[in-house]
C-alpha cells in the first residue's frame, strides 16, 4: 500500500506547528528536539542493529544485511538516508528518494529501544521538513498493509491511501 501527501501542511506534534531552525553541523532540527544527519560510516553499526530486528526484517526483506558496505550501498543508492537523533542518541532513520519531479518516496525506521515512546509524529515532521528543504512537494510512503502502526501514523499526518501491489521475486 502506498500513502501519499501534498506537503502544504506539516505533521504536527501534539497540536504544535513544527518549524525549521538552522543548527550547523548539517542538522535539521524541529521543535520536538529531533534532528537528522546524512548517514555516515560511523552510523552503520546502528543501522545494522536496527535492521536486524525481527519486526524490521518482516517489513524490510529487500535490505542487504550481509555487510556494512552492502547496507551503505543500499542506503546511498538513488536516495538520501538520514540518521535521526534525539539529543545525542540515535533513535532511528529515514530516507528520501526522488520518483518524479517534486515527488519523493520515503521510509522511516525507529530502533526497537525507542518504539512506543511517541517519536512517530516528530519523526514525520522531520521527514516533511527535510523533504521540503530538498525541493519535494509530495511524499509517498510505502507501507505494508499489515503494518497498522505505520498506517495509523501516516493517516494522522494527513496521508491518503493508494494501492500498490508487490511481489518478492528473489
> What CA–CA distances, in Å, run from 126 to 119, 131, 163?
10, 8, 25
Please give the pLDDT value at position 64: 65
Instruction: Report the C-alpha gap between 36 and 29 in whole angstroms.
Output: 7
pLDDT over threshold 70, residue 115? yes
Check residue 121 and give its pLDDT: 92
Q: Taking residues 133-161, what's their average pLDDT?
A: 90
Q: Predicted confidence band at 31 (pLDDT cuts at 50, 70, 90)?
A: very low
The rounded distance, in Å, linking the Cα atoms of 72 and 170 is 21
What domains lie within the chain, and their CATH numbers?
2-162 (3.40.630.30)
pLDDT average, residue stretch 11-32: 42
Q: What are phi and psi of 114, to 5 degrees?
A: -120, 5
Q: Does residue 29 surpass a pLDDT of 60? A: no
Indicate whether 14 pLDDT > 90: no
More confident residue, 65 or 136: 136
Amino acid at each position: 500500500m502506498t500513502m501519499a501527501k501534498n506537503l502544504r501542511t506539516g505533521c504536527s506534534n501534539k497540536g504544535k506547528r513544527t518549524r525549521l531552525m538552522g543548527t550547523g553541523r548539517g542538522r535539521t532540527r524541529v521543535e520536538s528536539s529531533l534532528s537528522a544527519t546524512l548517514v555516515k560510516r560511523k552510523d552503520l553499526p546502528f543501522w545494522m542493529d536496527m535492521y536486524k530486528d525481527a519486526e524490521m526484517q518482516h517489513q524490510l526483506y529487500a535490505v542487504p544485511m550481509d555487510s556494512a558496505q552492502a547496507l551503505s550501498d543500499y542506503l546511498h543508492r538513488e536516495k538520501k538516508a538520514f540518521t535521526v537523533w534525539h539529543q545525542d542518541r540515535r533513535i532511528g532513520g529515514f530516507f528520501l528518494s526522488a520518483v518524479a519531479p517534486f515527488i519523493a518516496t520515503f521510509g522511516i525506521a525507529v530502533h526497537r529501544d525507542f518504539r512506543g515512546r511517541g517519536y512517530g509524529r516528530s519523526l514525520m515532521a522531520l521527514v516533511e521538513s527535510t523533504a521540503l528543504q530538498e525541493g519535494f512537494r509530495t511524499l509517498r510512503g510505502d507501507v505494508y498493509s499489515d503494518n497498522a502502526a505505520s498506517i495509523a501514523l501516516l493517516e494522522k499526518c494527513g496521508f491518503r491511501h493508494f494501492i500498490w501491489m508487490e511481489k518478492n521475486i528473489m
